[in-house]
Chains A and B, each alone.
Chain A
Amino acid sequence: AFSLCPGAGQDVGRSCILVSIAGKNVMLDCGMHMGYNDDRRFPDFSYITQNGRLTDFLDCVIISHFHLDHCGALPYFSEMVGYDGPIYMTHPTKAICPILLEDYRKITVDKKGETNFFTSQMIKDCMKKVVAVHLHQTVQVDEELEIKAYYAGHVLGAAMFQIKVGCESVVYTGDYNMTPDRHLGAAWVDKCRPDLLITESTYATTIRDSKRCRERDFLKKVHETVERGGKVLIPVFALGRAQELCILLETFWERMNLKAPIYFSTGLTEKANHYYKLFITWTNQKIRKTFVQRNMFEFKHIKAFDRAFADNPGPMVVFATPGMLHAGQSLQIFRKWAGNEKNMVIMPGYCVQGTVGHKILSGQRKLEMEGRQILEVKMQVEYMSFSAHADAKGIMQLIRQAEPRNVLLVHGEAKKMEFLKQKIEQEFHVSCYMPANGETTTILTNPSIPVDISLGLLKRETAIGPVPDAKKPKLMHGTLLMKDNSFRLVSPEQALKELGLAEHQLRFTCRVHIQDPRKEHETGLRVYNHLKGVLKDYSVQHLPDGSITVESILIQATAHSEDQGTKVLLVSWTYQDEELGSYLTSLLKKGLPQSTA
């Protein structure tokens, strides 16, 4: 197997990996880069094939989850570059992915006014090529290539994929999370021992604290503020963490019997929440088990937000988009509430430099808004990190679970990956790779080749010798036929018959001189008696013409042409009886016992 990274190698964002395994080409993820607005935002598909259509070259495309850095370039790739083969993703991903793509398209085309971008129709056409898969379902892409999805826990519907051709296999993790959270479980993979494990390494050098402390801190802060009568603003992105925080607050409100209202803004989220309700089986144990009484995503305390609510008196909690406070509703609400020290803003994620979010997190208390306005921030600013990537320990844990023969790190920073690479090699003694964008890594595998064997031959061969032990290799005799692209082990006779060849016999003959003055047939008789005495388990026969046979070995005694006292024993055996033949010769060479005959 070898893999090529047209997208994210030592980079976060724009995930795209090409894997060639036993002659099959599979593209893993098709992401875009948030940071660029030019051609660099999409992976360079010309890496894959310089000339010729992608459809001819790629056997399938697999999308691990709905984040845009993993699926953002999909319509571009399938509709604009041109790909008509199958695209695989899980059911929730298939459901949510088009919403996000449409949203992304709207922002880029309608707001920024870009042209030469994919259209709504393209998204629809692209989604028509998608084949949805279930967890742990083995999908046969073609006769040889099969894929299987495992739970990854990163966001709803996130999956890891095993790609298998014959006995060679690759596991691609996408993004995954090894610690369960309030709405999703932990990633799990069985001990599939792939030849290569391609894993993300976003947090290659981080070991995180327990989630409980962070959750408790978060809840305590919200609770205290609400009790004081303050308002809490939580800027979020519409999907993923937002749902986790909603569940967290919802259950807390339920538990503590709190009455303050919680609001959630934007229509996009409503649609997404709908899908969370539908795909209950993809969530964690608690939600799965209690949905019979009540679907946890049917929020009791969380209501839709209206612009007018922001001015309502009394405590409230508001989730608003976008997450970095750079525009939109969250910024509007922030401006309204920033002046009151009773209020609080909680940033649940990372903020890009230059955004309001980043500024307030770094402690800036006076912000310059558009129009030269100065906004004084009196409200409390809190940072809570709720990230759903595996940390270094989680990555190691997954490697331990899967037991791969090679590991390939992607989706991370080179410097951090270096550390993890060293650790993996040191602790698991497997080789680890970290290709850069556009770099190809080749991994040698040691494929085992299946060979058909006829049952008759197998039974015949296993009957010989000791009882078979499955853990030990066993020696067998047979003829290997390589015909019509298949391997078969057959008996020599059948091989000859099939190939239409005549059988050649190979015979060994050997003369043994014995000093015996008696007549030829008497010598023959003596030899016969001797052999009969020694070889009790074999059939020894004395033929009427004076020759002796031991199984299929022929022995003839003739007088020496020159010296009548010396008899010559002619021993002749076929190639198959080599063992017995050579034993007989050595036996006869020792001479006959001076018996009474």
Chain B
Amino acid sequence: MAAHLKKRVYEEFTKVVQQQHEDLSTKKLRLTKPSKSAALHVDLCKATSPADALQYLLQFARKPVEVESVEGVVRILLEHYYKENDASVRLKIASLLGLLSKTAGFSPDCIMDDAINTLQNEKSHQVLAQLLDTLLVIGTKLPENPSVRMRLVEVACKHLTDSSHGVRNKCLQLIGCLGPVEKGVSKEAESQAAKDVQKIIGDHFNDQDPRVRTAAIKAMLQLHERGLKLQQAIYSQACKLLADDYEQVRSAAVQLIWVLSQLYPESIVPIPSSNEEIRLVDDAFGKICHMVSDGSWVVRVQAAKLLGSMQQVSSHFLEQTLDKKLMSDLRRKRTAHERAKELYSSGEFSSGRKWGDDAPKEEIDTGAVNLIESGACGAFVHGLEDEMYEVRIAAVEALCMLAQSSPSFAEKCLDFLVDMFNDEIEEVRLQSIHTMRKISNNITLREDQLDTVLAVLEDSSRDIREALHELLCCTNVSTKEGIHLALVELLKNLTKYPTDRESIWKCLKFLGSRHPTLVLPLVPELLSTHPFFDTPEPDMDDPAYIAVLVLIFNAAKSCPTMPALFSDHTFRHYAYLRDSLSHLVPPLRLPGRKLVSSPVSPSITPHEDPSQQFLHQSLERVYNLQHLDPQGIQELLEFTIRDLQRLGELQSELAGMADFTATYLQCQLLLTKALQEKLWNVAAPLYLKQNALASAAAKQILEETYKMEFMYSGVESRQVVIIHHMRLQAKALQLIVTARTTRGVEPLFGMCEKFLQEVDSFQRCFISELPHMQGSFVDKLLDLMPRLVTSKPSEVVKILQTTLRQSTFLHLPLPEQLHRATANIIEPTGESDNPLRFTSGLVVALDVDATLEHVQDPQGTVKVQVLYPDGQAQLIHPKPADFRNPGPGRHRLITQVYLSHTAWTEPCQIEVRLLLAYNSNRSKASARIPKSTWSESLEALPPSENGIEGTIPFSKPVKVYIMPKPARR
């Protein structure tokens, strides 16, 4: 017991020593170099048992080692390595060697010889494997040293005969990563190892251990990735591996076969047991297809994925993948797809099906039926019916890729894709809808297929429906019945899910403009016009009627005869819709009316140069004016701002840029106005007015600078400096105003100090940019800094005022691309007159649907604000999952906002708007700290907690009519 205690005391003592070393290293950087290796040496010598030594090494591994001391440490480790008898310690040393050689900036060639030497006498297989791993690290660190690599490969080849799979594994990995890639560069007679690496690796394709076989194939693939052209001879070997017992081998072999098929697509291989020969890519395709019905799903996924990228395969092989011969009691049977097609071509649309409709037809010759196909037969049929959805998705993707490159295949695979619309897993359904959209320019939907497609419109998942709408946007329909069917189903969808309105209208817009001739015969029926009787005028606000009109008007655009079929009110409705939904209704050439030319006539391609030139010229003009009288500056600024704003309206692609500069000039204008000498010199009674103007200006500038910094995407650090500088000026202005209005000196002390701190932090943050800011406010301020620090607040204010007035106007460089973040709330529309009624004290969910453009990281920054009539505001953090990303720079927010309030006597409107939260401490480039935005708190969390400093509204507010009723007792 006593001895035990003593040992513990001793152990603790050693720990204390360790920490002292740590302290030293943290405090004095210079000292670490000798101490690090020395400490390790001391520790290792002190270690009484292997377990102790292992502990020391483990501790050592936790701390990084500087580049300069790596070599010393390695020497010590190696020294100890030779002395050590325990395999686990040697293993740790070996792994440390690998870690150390990874140190950036360290060139491991000096320790290579030693590392290779350690291999000589090593008996433990594990250590050996670890050492080889270290060598691999060393080798990869020395890419431009062929002789070293050669040596390492040689070493690896020597250990290939080891009896442990781990060692062989590592050897193959090493050969794969370091083996010579270019033939002939190394001299022929270089050494034995330089002989064909491919052959060496190939020999291990039938190693007894599956792990080694896998490693061999992987090494081969690695060689391929590094640019070595694999020999075709490997192909037959790889084919044998497809029948391996182990899934990882098969999986790797599938990859290898794929690689070879891409390398030698056109070479000819014989078909075993016959005299025929086929192209290699076809053969490989057949083999990979065969693997789609493998026993292991990992292999199936792998195979299905790779099929998609084999586009060189001949079409007749490709089409076999969808082929499955049915039979029943040895008689040929048609598939449901064939029956559907036949039904369609026979002109019979909906037949009441009898039993035995699918009754088998002709007898099959028993000899001709091939149950296990040698070729590609039915690979996709199997893949799409697979048990695992991973396989099904992979198959759908592959189908998509193949269909994109082959129109005839696209036509054939349509039936199968349509079937996938009913998969049990939503992801698969969605994927197949997307796939269908991608290949839709190659295909025309048959009516029965369209029927199946349209049935999915009732799906309760919004994603599915919208994907389907998008699909319908670009499908070709063959008949007018098809169009009618689509319209009917879409209207059904509209009544079932009214929120899909926008998406459905858009869908009908494209459907109409794609099929004008098919819509034409439907027009009278759709508009329910009658040759003799006047029909009642439909309700203009009915979304379904609007949907029909959108279809018709878009068709009418390229069908001049159509307007003749319109009745009077249709023309009126056209005028109304053209105005209110201009993005959905195209300009039409109507009889008796002139075609209203659009403001920007499309014939003239928008030329960027003149407007861009204009932008730059106007800015030049402003920046050059330094010494005009204040009045002149003000006027010029006002004009320029007006010009820029107009330019932004006209040229949408320059809008961001123009707005940005206009805001900046606006700030400058405000500052100039606020600093007008006349105002500051007036007598005390007029202070108030001047004061109000200046403080309002300061406040507005602050706001604008935040907008400039956070609302635009593409702002670079050059602009950020200028913006921050402007903010600093505003703060100085604020200080001056407060100094002049407050009587006491006490509060001023704090304010001055705070301001000086800010100047200091500005200097620290933007030290690299300071040279560009000659003559600016901050430049002058920094010159006066020593004086400022020591002066009294009143003096500080004085100095500030003069510097502020004397400082020059900074030139704002423009970035390449600048976009202003915008948001548009689609839902709620704010048009409803029916208040949303709910019992007070309970919550009501309001669906919010908005599109966001050019918002970086919307999950973190976009918030929803609800303003109640009593001035109460509520900030809601949407869940990250509520954001979808339909395209680059575009986001969509679909969320629910929970409203609640105490009882009101009558309905009233609340405002819903989107806010952009910002935090100026958060640098733009650095990764955000994950925050707890999940919790949808009813009140805005304190800014410190959430990292939100302020918010900028960036969407038009939408009014929602609500009515909390008092609870009934």
Chain A interface residues toward B at CB < 8 A: 179-180, 182, 185-186, 188-191, 205-217, 219-220, 223, 251, 254-257, 284-286, 361-363, 380-383, 392-393, 396-397, 400-401, 416, 419, 422-423, 427-428, 467, 469-471
Contact = CB atoms under 8 A, between A and B. Distances in A.
A191 B245 contact: yes
Nearest to A422: B366
A180 B330 contact: no
Given A255-B460, A423-B369, A416 B329 contact: yes
A24 to B, nearest CB: 26
Q: Is the interface of B mostly helix, strand, loop or mixed?
A: loop
Interface in B341-399: 352-356, 366, 369-372, 381, 384-389
B335 A216 contact: no
B349 to A, nearest CB: 14
11 contacts: A180-B387, A207-B324, A209-B326, A209-B335, A209-B336, A210-B381, A212-B419, A217-B336, A286-B424, A363-B355, A397-B293
A286 B385 CA distance: 14
Nearest to B209: A470
Contacts of B335: 209-210, 213
Contacts of B328: 205-207
B363 to A, nearest CB: 11
A205 B330 contact: yes
B161, B326, B337, B496 interface centre (most CB from chain A within 10 Å)? B326
Contacts of B295: 188-191, 401
Interface string B209-248: 0000000000000000000000000000000000001000
Contacts of B355: 361-363, 381-383
A182 B424 contact: yes
B329 A251 contact: no
Contacts of B161: 467
B758 interface: no
Contacts of A362: 355
Nearest to A179: B385
A257 B387 contact: no
B330 A255 contact: no
Given A182-B424, A257-B460, A284 B366 contact: no
Contact of B460 (A188, A254, A381): A254
Given A213-B336, A381-B355, A207 B326 contact: yes
Contacts of A396: 371-372
B337 A213 contact: yes
B206 interface: yes
B208 interface: yes
Contacts of A422: 366
A255 B461 contact: yes
Contacts of B329: 205-206, 416
Given A396-B371, A416-B329, 4 more contacts: A182-B424, A206-B327, A212-B384, A255-B459
Contact of B326 (A208, A212, A256, A467): A208
Interface string B485-499: 000000000001000
Contact of B422 (A186, A215, A397, A428): A215
A212 B432 CA distance: 14
A251 B387 contact: no
A190 B250 CA distance: 14
A217 B458 CA distance: 16
B575 to A, nearest CB: 37
B647 interface: no
Contacts of A186: 386-387
B581 interface: no
Contact of A400 (B326, B372, B389, B458): B372
Contact of A471 (B208, B327, B452, B458): B208
A100 to B, nearest CB: 26
Nearest to B492: A227
Contacts of B459: 255-256
Contacts of B336: 209-210, 213-214, 217
Contacts of A219: 422
A216 B452 contact: yes
A458 to B, nearest CB: 14
Nearest to B424: A286
A214 B386 CA distance: 16
Contacts of B455: 220, 223
B589 to A, nearest CB: 42
Contacts of A285: 387-389
Interface string B668-680: 0000000000000
Contacts of A397: 293, 372
B237 to A, nearest CB: 15
Contact of B371 (A179, A286, A363, A423): A423
Contacts of A419: 330, 366
A185 B389 CA distance: 11
Contacts of B452: 216, 220
Nearest to A210: B385
A392 B385 contact: no
Q: What are the 8 closest A-B residue pairs judged by CB atoms, nearest first? A: A213-B336, A180-B387, A470-B208, A212-B419, A257-B460, A256-B458, A396-B371, A383-B355
Interface in B445-494: 452, 455, 458-461
A364 to B, nearest CB: 11
Contacts of A381: 355
Contacts of A416: 329-330
A64 to B, nearest CB: 20
A186 B293 CA distance: 12
Contacts of B208: 469-471
Contact of A392 (B206, B371, B386): B371
B811 interface: no
B420 interface: yes
A397 B240 CA distance: 19
B31 interface: no
B24 interface: no
A282 to B, nearest CB: 13
B325 interface: yes
A394 to B, nearest CB: 10
B81 to A, nearest CB: 28
A331 B452 CA distance: 33
Contacts of A392: 327, 371
A422 B245 CA distance: 27
A286 B389 contact: yes
B540 interface: no
Nearest to B464: A255
B392 to A, nearest CB: 10
B425 to A, nearest CB: 6
A212 B325 CA distance: 16
B871 to A, nearest CB: 40
A416 to B, nearest CB: 7
Nearest to A190: B295
Contacts of A185: 387
A180 B386 contact: yes
Contacts of B424: 182, 251, 286
A254 B424 CA distance: 11
B325, B328, B420, B423 interface centre (most CB from chain A within 10 Å)? B328
A185 B391 CA distance: 14
A353 to B, nearest CB: 14
B492 to A, nearest CB: 10
B451 to A, nearest CB: 8
A209 B360 CA distance: 12
B786 to A, nearest CB: 67
Nearest to B245: A191
A248 B425 CA distance: 12
B183 to A, nearest CB: 30
